[in-house]
Homo-oligomer: A and B are copies of this chain.
Amino acid sequence: MHVFDQAIALSVQGEGSYSGATSPAYGNMVGPFGGVTAATVLNAVLRHPALLGEPVALTVNFAAALADGAFTVHARPVRTNRSTQHWVMEITQPDAQGTESTVLTATAVTAARRETWGVDDAPMPAVPTPEAVGRPNMAAPVEWVRRYDIRIAEGAIPTTWDGRGDASRSTLWVREEPLRPLDFASLAAMADVFFPRVWLRRATRVPAGTVSMTVYFHAGAAQLAAVGTGWLLGQAQAQAFRNGFFDQSAQVWSQAGALLATTHQTVYYKE
């Protein structure tokens, strides 16, 4: 079993109730990598017997740092239409007093997608190939980074923290290590693979953590399966930093140039 599948694994406790546990393989500064937590809560939807269709939208709000150890995931389909379904999810953990308490809230929309007219309006940026960028060029200060082969073509983590940053855009190749065929869960996780934009923009390393993240899935299961273990190209950029929060807008393409997902987050930062 791939380490990612181990990390997002869930045991059914009852209708729409699952138990999971944090994985040391995806450890972050505090608690696990948020991308894997997002993938885990999506996994609860994907495994639900009432599921209609495939993910279209996922929003995850990180209400508190997950403590290392066991947690409970709740997933509930609150509205099922002819071709769309709306989900409300939650992760809970016992607090210091032992009371089960919310650490994450989430919503999702799934849909039976149809053949329609379509077009990509965000062309993949031209960057050197993953082989030309080479590896590794993203330092791994935390464990989860080692689960990915990340090759930053533009906007690398500053090597000198001199306060001289002037841009917030990164463009990078990413795939799992070891290789694993792409699916909705791994795409959700990789939508969160970018390091905090504030580090790049300021060339200053301040505490930062994602507060809310949304992923729009533009590809269906068959298109993701066709990408297989191929490289993804991600581009992320901030638009505003103010009063302790900044946003990030990002796109994720297949190496062949199909826009697989667009994603947004708002991130807390200190000072």
Contact = CB atoms under 8 A, between A and B. Distances in A.
Interface of A: 56-57, 59, 61, 63-64, 78-79, 81, 84, 86, 88, 90, 101-103, 105-107, 109, 111, 113-122, 167-168, 201-202, 211-212, 214, 216, 218-220, 237-245, 247, 249, 251, 259, 262, 264, 266, 268-271
Contacts of A168: 121
Contacts of A117: 202, 241, 271
Given A79-B102, A264-B214, A122 B57 contact: no
Contacts of A64: 79, 81
Given A86-B63, A105-B78, A107-B105, A218 B245 contact: yes
Nearest to A78: B102
Given A61-B107, A211-B56, A118 B241 contact: yes
**Secondary structure of the A side of the interface?**
strand
A209 to B, nearest CB: 10
Contact of A78 (B63, B86, B259): B63
A212 B57 contact: yes
A9 to B, nearest CB: 25
Contacts of A103: 79
Contact of A241 (B81, B119, B167, B211): B119
Given A111-B244, A211-B109, A116 B270 contact: yes
Contacts of A90: 78
8 contacts: A79-B105, A111-B211, A113-B243, A115-B243, A116-B244, A118-B241, A119-B241, A216-B247
Given A64-B81, A103-B79, A116 B243 contact: yes
Contacts of A79: 63-64, 101-103, 105
Nearest to A243: B113
Contact of A109 (B56, B212, B240, B270): B212
Contacts of A212: 56-57, 59, 107, 109, 214, 216
A57 to B, nearest CB: 4
A249 B121 CA distance: 12
